[in-house]
Structure 1
Amino acid sequence: MATFRTRWRLSILLVLLPNCLAPGPPAAPSLPDCSIPCGGLNNCADIHCSWDASPDPQITINYSLHWKTACREEEHVITGPSFSGIIQREHFSHGELCVWVQAENQHGSAKSQEAVFNTENIIKPPPPNVTSSHKELVEIDWIPTCEELHRSLGNCVVRHRTETNPDWIEAEGGIRSYTLDYPQPNTVYEFQVRCSCGTGLPSDWSAVHRIRSAETAPVGELDVWRDCGMSQASFDCVVTWKKLPTSQACGLILGYEVTLSYNNGTAVLVNMSTAEPRGLLLCDEMQCHSNFSLKDVSSVSVSAYNAHGATVPSYLAMPKPGKEKDEQAIHLVMNVEHLNVSWDLPSQLLDNLKEYVLQYKQAGSPPCQGFDWVKVNKSKTTGFFKGHYTKYTPYQVSLFTVSHSSEVHHLSSVIGYSLQGTPPSVPSFKVFSIAATHVSLFWESVPLSKQNGLILYYQVVVDSGVNGQNVYNVSASSLHESEPFKLLHLSPGQEYEVRIRAVTAAGPGANATAKFKTKHHEDFAHVIAIVVGILFVVVICVLLAFCSFCRGENKVCPLVPPFFYDKVPDARNSHIFRHMKHQTNDPWAWICIPIYEPHPKISLLEVVEIQPWAFKSSLEKITNTDRLSRPVVGDGCSQMDHHDNQREEAVTEECHRTDHRYRREEYSKMVDSDEDREEEEEKREDCWSSTEEEQSTFGYEKHFMPTDFELLEV
């Protein structure tokens, strides 16, 4: 049943559709507009009529112009498919006339409304001729054509506009002249005039007549800024300014005066003429800039001048030394034709904040090219640029604040693209510092001018072929040029392949690939063994050097075993106590510790094989048995009993002076003469007599030879 209903509805549509789509009669034309144009002296004859219609491109429509008078029957002229027609002078008489248009095609016809008019009221005179003008008053004169037609002059209308404005302004004019009130100085104005004769139609507009108003001194100030390239901390800046609009220039700008104030307090005035654009001054349609150096310049002021005066100088302070800081986040919405920028209010507003300055700079462009700026009121947080922005090209957008004292402070900068693409391969990809479980990777960032988009991160893919792949995303903002990236937790002795590519909003770029093989743990053990060996040798050398110093001072180093010393008796053994006061000022006393013995005696002797008769001869020489109870001390003087301590101290002091003077030379070198020997023996006898010892005994034997009692004990 549903199928039958569907077929029934389709059959009805097939019957009605051709009737709905079938062409019909044409639409009715508009009311005809008729006039009698006068082409010359009293040459006002034919009636020209025109109308509007909606033609059908598939069907030809023919139009016919019809008219009739009160005394005659209807007449018409076949015109064809055009939208205008002419009624010849011989086909009508002056007076009231009724005109309409008929449209006809193969499916029918349509008629327009009838236009009824008097032929005297449709006479259209030729446009007037503007003969002269006055620049000082911006005034024009013209000659009407009604007198030539022997007709009375009706109304005249004047319209004007500036050369850069497409809209006309109409004003009622006089009979033969018109003066413009309050014209802008040095501005080109365009004028047109049309007049009517009597009650007839107004003429067509006259030809455009141009006049430039008189010049005056320029007004206002120049919009001055500086282009420091991509780095706002750079001091290689170029001062630039925008040209004055015509309404402010008030004449032809002949040049600019630039005053440079230096840090040392001096000032230099530079006059740059527009007649020499290839000199210090370079200008395009909108901006001008100078190419002189701004080194050591603290501020700049610029003014424009013409033949009648100059503008007020515009002041701009140069950036101060200091590190560039981003203190404010800004947001971009950018395409090929528009750049919209927004930002939040700074956390700390300046009390004397005057305005914001928003600028953009194309990366890699020459000074003042691909560069523009706009000044924004301090109450606003948005800025807008209109222009043509190249695809895949970085633009740096920067935000500044300007105080009432003209100090400039950089708030923030961000890179934007009108359209982003995939980046190229990273340059200089290297693998170094290869260890058993980690390696270091180094690559250079893609240059800003070649990135084709804002790089979000660098993707590092590590493939071992055994354990699969590991992927690391390294943020481009946290990556420093001199800082390598370390791959950790690698397997020793394993071959790896590492790939890196940059990623933008458009996708990843081309890969850079490198291969490496990690080291084994044994290599690290060898390195440790070598380092330990080198340290051991260094320690031994240092100890030997210290001990050499100690041996030079006849001291003992506790850090060195005793077998490093020669088994030679110390001839100065008796001076141990006296030398203690000298060692307190020795900087090496904490290392080389002197031997301290309260009762020094030699207990270790060098064993030498001798003949029995020699030993017997030595025993016969020893006759004083009191020596068994008096140990040898000092430098050869015997220690007395407790009751003789005062006398012993005096004697010991005298002996010490003697030994210190001669430095024990009697044991180190030969006595050269008998006089020296006798003098030395006298000193010895004086020393030994104070201690009641035998005068014939030598000092060396008293110091180091054992007593008879000690020999018997052995």
Structure 2
Amino acid sequence: MTWIGMTHWCWLRAVGVFLLLFVGDLGGNSEVCSLCCIFLREDRGLNCTWAGNANTQYTLHLQSLKFNINKPSTVLNFTSLLGRTSILIPRKSLTKNDNYLLKLKHGAEEESYYFTYDDADKNLLIEPPLLSDVMFSGESDVSAHISWPIPSDNLHVAIRYQNLADTNSKEWIYADPSDIQHDNYEISDLEPFSQYDVQARYESNNTLRSLWSESRTFWTPEQAPVGPLDVWRNFDMKQFVILYWKPQHCQYPGSDKWNYIVTYIHGGGSNALKTPYREPLCEVKLPANSTHMCVSAQNNNGTGPPTCATTVCLDTKPLDVEIRVWLNVTQGVTVWWDESLNERCEDLTYLVEWTQLTEGGSKMKNWARRQVGKQNVTLPGKLDPQVPYQVSLFTLCQSDCKGPVSTIMFYSQEGVPSSAPNFSVLPLSSTDIFISWNEIPVWKQKGFITSYTVYLNSTVDSQRHPVSARNLSISGLLPSTVYEIWVTASTAAGEGTRGEVKVFHTKGIY
């Protein structure tokens, strides 16, 4: 049995005062105390430490309470170095079994407690256990064996450990005291290929005798890949298929040496290829009309189970499904959709795909899956500003796929267009013209185009015409007059750059 804990408070009773220890389980060696001293091994003196400002200089006053009529008690002063919240009192300044008063001073503040210089004094802490290197056992279940020197009869050891790769929970797991042997402990049911911290401390009859030890950090052994991969594919290219998957254990060192085995059927024959790890997404290009496309992770310990991609996605005509995208309070992007598809499926899953629209076509960025009842997803990572993204919603039922049932384009942050429309001028008469222009390429728009502005200049006057469409008829121009004309595009962020300036001459009156 193990316990998961957050914070512990311990009170140590000293002669005439209370010494308060705060044990902070925030990960690593975060344990501190208001003022405490640790009896060092091999009779090397005391290491006195406290909770305070490391940029402040403190003074420790040590006074022996042993009465000697011929030799008045002296007070020894020790000053800390800047940046340190501990002082080593050497053995030569201490006498075994003598009683002492220790005071910590900084300005008008003072803290003190009494102790007897002896490793059996419960008002002194002792050094924590010295943990051995971690040994591993078990072929199927990963178990770690940790040991330490045999303590004295009145002491027992407490153990705690945590999975450093578990970003959802940074809590320590406390070992059941009944499972801890006198000089060793076996941590079982560990995750393979994961990083752990383990710490130990001495206790005596529910009394704290040491702080937690320095962490012993270790990696559990690598095993053959387990579990399915998250596999997806593109549906907007006819000449080939791009198969995507998210690499396993991408956060662990060494996983970048993994390979992936891709199998598929094309032209009536089975094919296989090996591709290396890539981050953040792995991908491979396969011939068009490939079927039975599956991916397996592979390392030095074996090959994992295959995960297969959807071969086709039916009913690609968009349905009337509302989808919204917005920037949330954490500056992430949230996607929401109206769950009104009425699909007859016991295990319906939504898949939200987002791609970046570039000059070379759509570039897959990522995807996320959600079960029925969860109608939103926050896209992981930060999306680039002024870059067009397209969000598509698919529905998955076992091996069947439908979609995209809805598609929307969005920007995480809009800017002004980096290009101007390419326009043409058609004279209609000596006083009338018709201007039309093409849409700016989406990767140059930098945002949603809200309006266009047509500018005309002549030696007589200047004109400015805002317009929402991509064409404009202008009347009332002067015959036989030279005009300059240009067009700009605007987004919510403002007006874009001015492009080509064209010169035209209105017809004369005959």
Tell me if both proteins adopt one fold, taking TM over 0.5 as the criterion: yes
> SS in structure 2 opposite 1:449?
helix
Aligned with 2:411 (options 408, 414, 417): 417
What are the within-5 Å matches in structure 2 for residues 543-692 of structure 1? none
Number of residues of Structure 1 aligned to a counterpart in Structure 2? 453
Alpha-carbon spacing, 1:74–1:420, altered in 2? closer, same or farther (3 Å): farther
Residue 457 (structure 1) aligns with: 451
Structure 2 residue 184 is matched with structure 1 residue 177:
yes
Q: Which of 101, 104, 127 is residue 103 of structure 2 equivalent to? A: 101
Are the equivalent residues in 1 in contact too, given 2:317–2:403 (CA < 8 A)?
A: no
Q: Which has the higher strand share?
A: 2
Matched residue, 2:24: none
Indicate whether 1:139 and 2:126 are aligned.
no
Match of 1:509 in 2: 496
Local SS of the residue matching 1:363:
strand
CA distance in 1, matches of 2:188, 2:433: 82
Q: 1:466 to 1:141 in 2, by over 3 A?
A: closer
Structure having the larger proportion of residues in helix: 1
Choose which of 205, 212, 224 in structure 1 pairs with 2:213.
Answer: 205
Structure 2 residue 299 is matched with structure 1 residue 297: no
CA distance in 2 between partners of 1:283 and 1:351 (Å): 38
Show the counterpart of 1:625: none
Q: Which residue of 2 aligns with 1:545?
A: none
1:487 to 467, 473, 490: 473
CA distance in 1: counterparts of 2:156 and 2:386, whole angstroms: 61
CA distance in 2, matches of 1:322, 1:470: 43
Pairwise mapping of residues 33-48 of structure 1 onto structure 2 (< 5 A)? 33-38=36-41, 43-48=42-47
Q: Is the 8 A contact 1:190 1:211 kept in 2?
A: no
Pairing 1:396–2:369 present: no
Read off the aligned partner of 1:385 and give its amino acid letter.
Answer: L
CA deviation profile, 1:199-246 (whole Å, cap 9, x unmatched)? 993376256252524736623x32111235xxx475644111112348
Query: C-alpha separation between the residues in 1 aligned to 2:217 and 2:420?
Result: 63
Q: Which amino acid aligns with 2:425?
A: V
Question: Matched residues in 2 for 1:383 and 1:180: separation?
Answer: 37
Deviation, structure 1 residue 333: 1.9
What SS class does the counterpart of residue 450 from structure 1 fall into? helix
Return the alpha-carbon distance in structure 2 between the equivalents of residues 240 and 62 of structure 1.
60
Matched residue type, 2:245: W
Query: After superposition, where does 1:55-74 map in structure 2 within 5 Å?
Result: 63-69=59-65, 71=67, 74=73
- 2:271 equivalent in structure 1: 270
Let me know the Cα RMSD of the aligned residues: 4.1
Paired residue type of 2:486: R
Which residue in the other structure is 1:430 paired with? 424
The residue type equivalent to 2:48 in the other structure is C
Structure 1 residues 33 and 452: CA distance shift in structure 2, 3 A: same
- Cα distance in 2, alignment partners of residues 268 and 323 from structure 1: 32
Q: Which residue of 2 aligns with 1:239?
A: 243
TM-score, normalised to structure 2, is 0.73
Contact 1:336 1:388 in 2 (8 A): no
TM-score (norm 1): 0.54
Measure how far apart 1:453 and its partner are.
2.5
CA contact (8 A) 2:392 2:407 kept: yes
Equivalent AA in structure 1 for residue 504 of structure 2:
F
Pair 1:215-2:216 in alignment: no
**Match of residue 28 from structure 2:** none
Match of 1:154 in 2: 155
SS in 2 for 1:311: coil
- State how far apart, in whole Å, the 1-side matches of 2:279 and 2:419 are: 39
How far residue 504 of structure 1 moved from its aligned partner, in angstroms, is 1.0
Q: Would you say 1:350 and 2:343 are equivalent positions?
A: yes
- Summarize the Cα distance change of 1:176–1:368 in structure 2 as closer, same or farther, 3 Å threshold: farther
Deviates more, 1:353-362 or 1:492-501: 492-501
Residue by residue over 1:407-456, the C-alpha shift from the partner in whole angstroms, topping out at 9 and shown as x without a partner, is 23113333322332221342533213543454332333222222232222
**What SS is found at the alignment partner of 2:210?**
coil
Q: Once the 2 structures are TM-superposed, how far is the Cα of residue 509 of structure 1 from its aligned partner?
A: 1.4
Q: 1:384 Cα deviation (Å)?
A: 0.4
Q: Secondary structure at the match of 1:238?
A: strand
Tell me how far apart the structure 2 counterparts of residues 168 and 368 of structure 1 sit (CA, whole Å): 45
- In 2, the alpha carbon distance for the partners of 1:501 and 1:342 equals 33
Q: What is the aligned partner in structure 1 of residue 50 from structure 2?
A: 51
Offset of residue 402 of structure 1: 2.4
Query: Which residue is equivalent to 2:369?
Result: 375
Indicate the larger mover: 94-103 or 402-411. Answer: 94-103
Deviation at 1:361, TM superposition (A): 1.6
Report Cα offsets for 1:642-673 as digits up to 9, x if no partner: xxxxxxxxxxxxxxxxxxxxxxxxxxxxxxxx
The one-letter code sitting in structure 2 at the alignment partner of 1:159 is R
**Equivalent position of 1:386 in the other structure:** 380
Residue 223 of structure 2 aligns to which amino acid in structure 1? E
In structure 1, C-alpha distance between the alignment counterparts of 2:55 and 2:43, rounded to whole Å: 36
196 and 144 in structure 1: CA distance in 2 versus 1, 3 angstrom threshold? farther
Q: 2:353 aligns with which of 355, 359, 367?
A: 359
Kindly provide the CA deviation profile for residues 95-117 of structure 1, in whole angstroms up to 9, marking residues without a partner as x.
Answer: 36342315365xxx443243345
Higher mean Cα deviation, 305-314 or 44-53?
305-314
Contact 2:232 2:309 (8 Å CA) reproduced: no
Aligned letter for 2:502?
A
**Alignment gaps of 5+ in structure 1:** 1-28, 274-280, 480-484, 523-714
Query: Are the structure 2 counterparts of residues 154 and 205 from structure 1 closer, same or farther at C-alpha, using a change threshold of 3 Å?
Result: same
Alignment deviations for residues 150-182 of structure 1 (CA, whole Å, 9 cap, x no partner): x54621233333352465433243122222232
Distance 2:223 2:126 in 1: 40
Structure 1 270/330 Cα, relative in aligned 2: closer, same or farther at 3 Å? farther
The 2-side partners of 1:206 and 1:81 are apart by: 22
Shift in Å, 1:37: 0.3
Which deviations, in whole Å up to 9, do the C-alpha atoms of 1:376-428 show, x marking residues without a partner? 22322211012132232222222222234422311333332233222134253
Would the alpha carbon gap of residues 225 and 44 (structure 1) be closer, same or farther in structure 2, given more than 3 Å must change?
A: same
Distance 1:245 1:460 in 2: 55
Deviations 1:519-548 (A, max 9, x none): 4675xxxxxxxxxxxxxxxxxxxxxxxxxx
SS at 2:190 equivalent: coil
- Amino acid across the alignment from 1:287: L
Q: Distance in 2 between matches of 1:371 and 1:317?
A: 20
Question: Residue 497 of structure 1 contacts residue 515 of structure 1 at CA under 8 Å; is this kept in 2?
Answer: yes
Question: Quick one: structure 1 residues 505 and 258, their matched pair in 2 at CA, closer, same or farther if it must change by over 3 Å?
Answer: same
Which has the higher Rg, Structure 1 or Structure 2?
A: 1
The code of the aligned residue for 2:270 comes to: L
CA separation in 1, counterparts of 2:447 and 2:272? Answer: 43
Q: Does 1:498 align with 2:461?
A: no
Q: Which amino acid aligns with 1:133?
A: M
* Corresponding residue of 1:611: none
How many angstroms does 1:507 deviate by?
Answer: 0.6
* Structure 2 match to 1:527: none
Match of 1:445 in 2: 439
- Write the letter of the residue equivalent to 1:514: K
- Aligned partners of 2:93 and 2:387: how far apart in 1? 72
Q: Secondary structure at the match of 2:344?
A: coil
Q: 1:335 to 1:368 in 2, by over 3 A?
A: farther
Relative distance call for 1:238 and 1:217 in structure 2 (3 A) is closer
Say which is worse superposed, 395-404 or 461-470, in terms of deviation.
461-470
Bigger shift: residues 237-246 or 252-261:
252-261
